[in-house]
Chain A
Amino acid sequence: MAGKTLFDKVWDSHVVEQIENGPSVLYIDRHLVHEVTSPVAFGGLEKRGLKVFRPQNTVATADHNVPTVDQHLPIKDLLSRSQVDKLTQNCNKHGITLYGLNHPYQGIVHVIGPETGLTQPGMTIVCGDSHTATHGAFGSVAFGIGTSEVEMVLATQCIMQPKPKKMRITIDGELKKGVTAKDIILYIISKISASGGTGYFIEYAGSAFRNLTMEGRMTVCNMSIECGSRGGLIAPDEVTFEYLKGKDFAPKGEAWDKAVNYWKTLKTDHDAVFDLELKYDTADIEPMITYGTNPGMGIKITGKVPVGTSLPENEKPSFYKSLSYMGIEEGSAMLGKQVDYVFVGSCTNGRIEDLREFARFIKGKKKADNITAWIVPGSKQVEKQAIEEGIMKVLEDAGFKMRQPGCSACLAMNDDKIPEGKYAVSTTNRNFEGRQGPGARTFLASPITAAAAAITGKITDPRDFL
């Protein structure tokens, strides 16, 4: 019998029942909840007269819809406020731990899971949010679900899912100077397209990933969904254990040793078979930027936007629609393009390491006058650390201000919207039309590419400053 992949090991050990020719009933270890995709699920539960089955497996936070200034005041937007209030009521009623506004653990759901140690190897983790994929960095099976499924997990701690196919992406070698985890994943998506991973769960393997920090691995796994894959994962190793050790919810003492022994078994067997194997070379990966309106439309920052004539006939309408929305010419260079906004934050690049890199880059330099910059920490803990480490001070000296934690302009549900027609270099994960505000035009890039734009006012190769 062929060996098992890491994904098989975690998935199979959580199957409560397998329906013939149908989905698996999958047990969920951690359910993360936020204010936007949960109210209808709680409502459904109540209509059926049910209580939350395992409140202790569930943790909630308010992130998508919260303001990033004056968080101590009542939320001004009444609809947002009612959603956040509803979450509080639901959590109180059902005995669910809530890290709401002003709680020291509040933050973007995918930032706080790892930093509190709630996210651990070998777990199944779901959340009504597609970037749940982030948690795969720990060797867990983590993916986003819809509201009906949120209700299922609340009611039974299980969901019904067809088992995805398996893909392995292997990249070996040293990363070139100025290339970050964000560039690796933007590179992968540009290669396999925004739909190339659909139907698969991806395992990232090889030294390029092993050499990343946990933060970097999270950035990679986070964007697995941008190629259509439900999630991505990386086998846990010493870097993972080191990161988790001592975290609030990580096992302690004897339980820790037992856990690590188990976690060490979580890797793909040598003779395991994948449905698809892809290999890339670090020599080909450079700082990346997107030019279009899906995350697969990315190029090397020094490259040129493709020309439509090179595309298959059926892809042309979307391509031209995208360029016209972006106000970008086919065949043009991205370097030197004027930018209006720089956004640093989100569950992709709003962790402490991202702020550190940004701060290191801009230290001793000044923000360009034409740039409005929003620096939004991923969580209260990130914010606190940024203050303690002096990052806040570096930012302020260079003319930047840090806001308060939340999803912010990543999806522009609160007031942080990039105005119509304006260009933003953003460390987020989606450049869809209107994602960062109606008419907003987004270029996705790494924190240091964002930093380079923030100090020059235009798209700039960060390596010019390294």
Chain B
Amino acid sequence: MPIDKFVTIESSCVPLPMDNVDTDQIIPARFLKATSREGFGDNLFRDWRYDKNNQPKPDFVLNNSTYSGSVLVAGKNFGSGSSREHAAWAIYDYGFKVVVSSFFADIFKNNALNVGLLPVQVSENFLSKLFKAIDENPSVKVKVDLENQLITLLSTGESEKFEINRYKKTCLINGYDDIDYLLSLRDKIEVFENNRMAF
């Protein structure tokens, strides 16, 4: 599926100061039965967000109207566990465009990039500054500028550079996906196949 182009955003943040948020929390397995990509945002963080009777749990951040925005700020090792891309779909479908953490699980990072959700990896130090700033003022904004690979805390002007490989950056900015590129290589792939050892 082609992805949306990533444009620079300025947004308030939703804080989730927990380490090791795994993909089973992001989207529990029992919600993976769909055969299409729609509607996963409704079940994002399902068991943290709703109780057994499907009532919103008031203490969970997504149910707290003080916090809003398209930037999710989470603790380290975000997205560990299962390879389910549904986790990235759910976050994106809910309305987030960026996830900030000090550390992402590899598969989650790939999946996020493939659906147009930008994982921004920052230092522990910058992350705790973010959490603190959000705690003091829930409407504080950050600016995420992919072109310059910069995340800025707008209240203080402090910023940090983040890494992304050049290829993926181009894809996100232009809304390209990998399949288009791979399809253009088909001839090369066939040559590769013909030159391989076979048993």
Whether B145 is near chain A, meaning CB under 8 Å from some CB there, is no
Q: How far is the CB of B91 from chain A (nearest CB, A)?
A: 13
Contact A22 B24 (CB under 8 A): no
A20: B residues at CB distance < 8 A: 166
Residue A55 at the B interface, CB < 8 A?
Answer: no
B107-A144 in contact (CB<8A):
yes
Query: CA A131 – CA B86 in complex, angstroms?
Result: 16
Which residues of the other chain, A, contact B105 by a CB distance below 8 angstroms?
A: 195, 198, 228
Residues of chain A lying within 8 A (CB to CB) of residue B84: 36-37, 146
Q: Give the complex CA separation of A157 and B189 in angstroms.
A: 8
Judge whether A460 is part of the interface by a CB distance below 8 angstroms.
no
Residue of B whose beta carbon sits closest to that of A161: B110
- B5 at the binding interface (Cβ < 8 Å): no
Q: Is the CB of B106 within 8 A of A294?
A: no
Q: Is A80 an interface residue (CB 8 A)?
A: yes
Q: Smallest CB-CB separation from B124: which chain A residue? A: A314
Residue of B nearest to A313 (CB): B128
Q: Check if A158 sits within 8 Å of B185, measured CB to CB.
A: yes
How would residues 164 to 183 of chain B score, 1 for a CB under 8 Å from any chain A CB and 0 otherwise?
Answer: 01111000000001110111
B85 at the interface (CB under 8 A from A): yes
Question: Which residues of chain A are near B52, meaning CB under 8 Å?
Answer: 420, 438
A23 touches B34 (CB 8 A): no
Determine which of B24, B25, B35, B189 lies in contact with A82 in the assembled complex, contact meaning CB atoms within 8 Å.
Answer: B35
Which B10-40 residues have C-beta < 8 A from chain A? Answer: 17-20, 22, 24-25, 28-30, 32-37
Q: B18 CB to closest chain A CB, in angstroms?
A: 6
Stretch at the interface among B74-82, B135-143, B151-159: B74-82
- Please tell me if the beta carbons of A148 and B115 are within 8 angstroms of each other in the complex: yes
Instruction: Tell me whether A430 and B24 are in contact (CB under 8 A).
Output: yes
A16-B188, A47-B1, A294-B20 known; A146 vs B88 contact (CB < 8 Å): yes
Q: Are A146 and B114 in contact (CB under 8 A)?
A: yes
| Residues of A with C-beta under 8 A to B25 | 432-434
B47 part of interface (Cβ distance < 8 Å):
yes
Report yes or no: A413 in contact with B22, Cβ–Cβ below 8 A.
no
Q: Which of B85, B124, B165, B167 contacts A148 (CB 8 A)?
A: B85
Q: Is the CB of B77 within 8 A of A130?
A: no
Q: In the complex, what's the smallest C-beta–C-beta distance from B55 to chain A, in angstroms?
A: 14
A147–B193 Cα distance when bound, in Å, is: 24
B36-A43 in contact (CB<8A): yes
Does A39 lie at the interface of the complex (its beta carbon under 8 Å from any beta carbon of B)? yes
A22 contacts B166, C-beta separation under 8 Å = yes
Set of chain A residues within 8 Å of B30, measured between Cβ atoms: 412-413
Task: Give Cα A162 to B36, complex, Å.
Answer: 28
* Segment touching B, from A134-142, A251-259, A331-339: A251-259
Contact of A413 among B32, B76, B128, B177 (CB under 8 A): B32
A130-B81 contact given A83-B33, A83-B35, CB 8 Å threshold: yes
Look across to chain B and name the residue whose beta carbon is closest to the beta carbon of A54: B193
Do residues A17 and B185 form an inter-chain contact, with CB atoms below 8 A?
yes
**Contact residues in B for A368 (Cβ distance below 8 Å):** none
How near does chain B come to A410, taking the closest CB pair, in angstroms?
Answer: 9
Given A148-B178, A195-B80, A433–B47 Cβ distance below 8 Å?
A: yes
- Decide if B29 touches A152 in the complex (CB within 8 Å): no
In the complex, residue of chain A having the shortest beta-carbon distance to the beta carbon of B104? A198
How many Å lie between the Cα of A342 and that of B181 in the bound state? Answer: 48
Complex formed: what's the CA distance from A131 to B181 in Å? 27
| Those of A38-55 within 8 Å (CB) of chain B | 39-40, 43-44, 47-48, 50, 53
CA separation between A41 and B94, bound complex, in Å?
Answer: 21
- Residues in chain B near residue A262, CB distance under 8 A: 197, 199
B192 A16 Cβ-Cβ under 8 A: yes
Q: How far is the CB of B164 from chain A (nearest CB, A)?
A: 10
Q: Among the listed B36, B104, B189, B199, which residue makes an inter-chain contact with A255, where contact means beta carbons less than 8 Å apart?
A: B199
> What are the residues of chain A within 8 A of B19 when measuring CB–CB?
314-315, 317-318
Complex contacts, B28 vs chain A, CB 8 Å: 434, 438
User: A residues within 8 A CB of B88?
Assistant: 146
From the candidates B35, B104, B165, name the one contacting A22 in the complex (CB within 8 A). Answer: B165
Residue of B nearest to A19 (CB): B167
Q: Say yes or no: A21-B29 contact (C-beta < 8 A), given A40-B35, A432-B22, A433-B47.
A: no
A164 to B168, CA, bound (A): 16
CB of A199 within 8 A of chain B? yes
Give 13 pairs: A residue, B residue, CB < 8 Å, sorted on A: A19-B167, A21-B167, A27-B189, A37-B84, A39-B35, A39-B36, A79-B33, A79-B34, A195-B105, A230-B106, A262-B199, A317-B17, A433-B24
Pick the 8 closest A-B CB pairs, nearest first.
A22-B167, A146-B85, A146-B111, A144-B83, A79-B33, A148-B114, A39-B35, A195-B77
- Apart from A16-B189, A17-B185, A25-B182, what are 19 other A-B pairs with CB-CB below 8 Å? A37-B83, A39-B34, A43-B35, A50-B183, A64-B32, A82-B33, A128-B83, A144-B82, A155-B183, A156-B185, A195-B103, A256-B199, A258-B199, A317-B19, A318-B18, A413-B32, A413-B33, A433-B24, A438-B28
Show the binding face of A for B, using Cβ within 8 Å.
16-17, 19-23, 25, 27, 36-37, 39-40, 43-44, 47-48, 50, 53, 64-65, 77, 79-80, 82-83, 86, 128-130, 132, 144-149, 151-152, 155-162, 164, 194-195, 198-199, 225, 228, 230, 251, 255-256, 258-259, 262, 294, 314-315, 317-318, 321, 411-413, 420, 430, 432-435, 438
